[in-house]
Amino acid sequence: MIKTLTKAALATSLLIAVGGVANANGDLQEAAKNPAQWVMPTGNYANQRWSDLDMINKDNVGQMVPAWTFSTGVLRGHEGNPLVVGDTMFVHTPFPNIVYALDLNDEGTIKWKYEPKQDPSVIPVMCCDTVNRGVAYAPGVDGKDLVILHQADTNVVALDASTGEEVWKVQNGDPSKGETGTAAPMVFKDKVLIGISGGEFGVRGSVTAYNLSDGSQAWRAYSTGPDDEMLMNPEKTTELGKPVGKDSSLKTWEGDQWQIGGGTTWGWFSYDPELNLIYYGSGNPSTWNPSQRPGDNKWSMTIFARDADSGEAKWVYQMTPHDEWDFDGVNEMILADIPVDGKDRKALVHFDRNGFAYTLDRETGELLVAKKYDPAVNWATEVVMDPNSDQYGRPQVVSEYSTEQNGEDVNTTGICPAALGTKDQQPAAYSPETKLFYVPTNHVCMDYEPFRVAYTAGQPYVGATLSMYPAPNSHGGMGNFIAWDAGKGEIVWSLPEQFSVWSGALATAGDIVFYGTLEGYLKAVDAKTGDELYKFKTPSGIIGNVMTYENSGKQYVGVLSGIGGWAGIGLAAGLTDPNAGLGAVGGYASLSKYTALGGQLTVFTVPEQTASSN
Rounded CA-CA distance 506/604 in Å is 14
Q: What is the pLDDT of residue 583?
A: 85
pLDDT in the model for residue 1: 35
Name the residue ranges covered by the structural domains of the chain.
Answer: 24-605
DSSP 582: G
Q: How far, CA to CA in Å, does 314 sit from each of 208, 236, 270, 328, 399?
A: 17, 7, 15, 21, 34
Binding site, residues?
79, 133, 182, 200, 264, 284, 326
| pLDDT at 580 (0 to 100) | 87
In sequence order, the 6+-apart residues with CB closer than 8 A to the CB of 12 are none
Query: Residue ranges of the chain with pLDDT lower than 50?
Result: 1-23, 613-614
Q: Measured between alpha carbons, how far is 337 from 123 in angstroms, rounded to an integer?
A: 41
Q: So what's the pLDDT on residue 49?
A: 98
Per the residue annotation, which of 27, 323, 326, 485 is the catalytic one? 326
Could you tell me which residues are annotated as the binding site for Ca(2+)?
200, 284, 326
Other CB atoms closer than 10 Å to residue 344's CB: what's the count?
10
**Residue 326 annotated among the catalytic residues of the structure:** yes
The Cα–Cα gap between 288 and 310 comes to 32
Positive or negative, the CA dihedral 296, 197, 501, 418 is negative
SS (H, E, C) 304-327: EEEECCCCCEEEEEECCCCCCCCC
Strand partners, 101: 90, 112
493 strand-pairing partners: 483
Q: In what order do the strands lie in the sheet with 532-537?
A: 50-51, 506-508, 512-516, 521-526, 532-537
Q: Output the pTM of the full model.
A: 0.95
**Alpha-carbon distance 567 to 425, whole Å?**
12
Binding residues for pyrroloquinoline quinone: 79, 133, 182, 264
Task: State how far the alpha carbon of 438 is from the alpha carbons of 226, 340, 428, 567, in Å.
Answer: 38, 18, 5, 20
Show Cβ contacts of residue 196 under 8 Å, excluding neighbours closer than 6 positions: 154, 172, 173, 179, 180, 181, 203, 205, 206, 207, 208, 264, 265, 266
pLDDT at 3: 37
pLDDT at 107: 85
State residue 611's pLDDT score: 59
**Burial classification of residue 118, based on how many CB atoms lie within 10 Å of its CB (0-12 exposed, 13-18 middle, 19 or more buried):** middle
Residues 6+ apart with CB under 8 A from 235: 243
User: Rounded to whole angstroms, how far apart are CA atoms 596 and 593?
Assistant: 8
Q: Answer yes or no: are the C-beta atoms of 590 and 579 closer than 8 Å.
A: no
Quickly name the fold that domain 24-605 has: Methanol Dehydrogenase; Chain A (2.140.10)
